[in-house]
Amino acid sequence: MRFGINSFLFTSPFTTQSTRLFPKFKKWGFETVEIPIEAPEHIDSAKVKAALDKNGLVCGSVCACMGPGRDFRGSAKDQREAMKYCKALIDHMVVLGCPSLIGPVYSVVGKADAVDPKQQKKEFALVVKNLKVLSAYAEKKGVQICVEPLNRFETDFLNTCDKGLRLIKAVGSPALKLHLDTFHMNIEEKNQAAAIKKAGKLLGHFHACGTDRGTPGNDELDWKPIVKALKSIKYKGDVVIESFTTDVKVIARAAAIWRRIEPTRDEIAVKGLKFLKKAFK
């Protein structure tokens, strides 16, 4: 199990020049970096890989940024754009030596509305169809895709561990896994530890966030059963801090961060990592 940091805490978009953050991440004690690639042309993956190697870090995951025009349940054009984008991310991952494409790899974020059961069924079938193709591509490239349930305010498509497992079963690819996040689970799951245990060997990625999107450990969440559950399923993937602040305006707006949750971004990273290391011992 490795501890990582999502670069959204410090910058958006992540570009090749953003590798200047790596020495700081290493100094703080992180082992992996989670890189959101908002557009494939933003990075030279060979140069980013060299910077990771130089600083003794690895790219543990690439985060899919499913913005407008990228939607596996949308129009034919949106589906094509989503596929082109996600395949390009996987190609970057091969160069980066990154094992996991993570996030809401199914639909544009923010699409949340009440749709009738017939439409739900149609959208589910579209996502399954597209993920079969993308998962086959991931298998060929030797990487995995970890789909993340989001809370009800960010999507109406995938909110819970149960529905995530249903989607994975429908796609039927060994390259498709589940990605759980403590912030989203705090809203949608009755019991986070139970959800983790239910995911079991299909849990491929994990985000550790405070209940307010702030520092893990500086919140009311009971982390002991969460840690126990991860250990009980022998989870070996990364545990990544994905917290946001008002400092990165684009992300703050997207994540509805309207106030300063913690004093500084550095404090979220440093204190969050210290807490997680102590919690997982």
Known catalytic residues?
Answer: 148, 242
Of 39, 51, 140, 53, the residue nearest 92 (C-alpha):
39
User: Which amino acid is residue 200, in one-letter code?
Assistant: G
Burial of 1 (0-12, 13-18, 19+ CB in 10 A): middle
Collect all residues with Cβ–Cβ distance below 8 Å to 205 and sequence separation of at least 6.
Answer: 61, 100, 102, 146, 148, 177, 178, 179, 180, 237, 238, 240
Phi, psi dihedral angles at 156 (to 5 degrees): -105, 0
- Cis peptide bond prior to 13, omega within 30° of 0: yes
DSSP assigned state of 264: -
Pair of tokens at residue 138: 């991931």
Specify whether the CB–CB gap between 236 and 1 falls below 8 A.
yes
Q: In this structure, are residues 58 and 26 in contact, taking their beta carbons and an 8 Å threshold?
A: no
SS3 94: helix
CA angle 94, 180, 26 (to 5 degrees): 55
What is the sign of the dihedral through the CA atoms of 232, 166, 126 and 135?
Answer: positive
Q: Which residues contact 11 (CB under 8 A, 6 or more apart)?
A: 18, 21, 248
Cα separation, 25 vs 21, whole angstroms: 6
- Dist CA 137 CA 131 (whole Å): 10
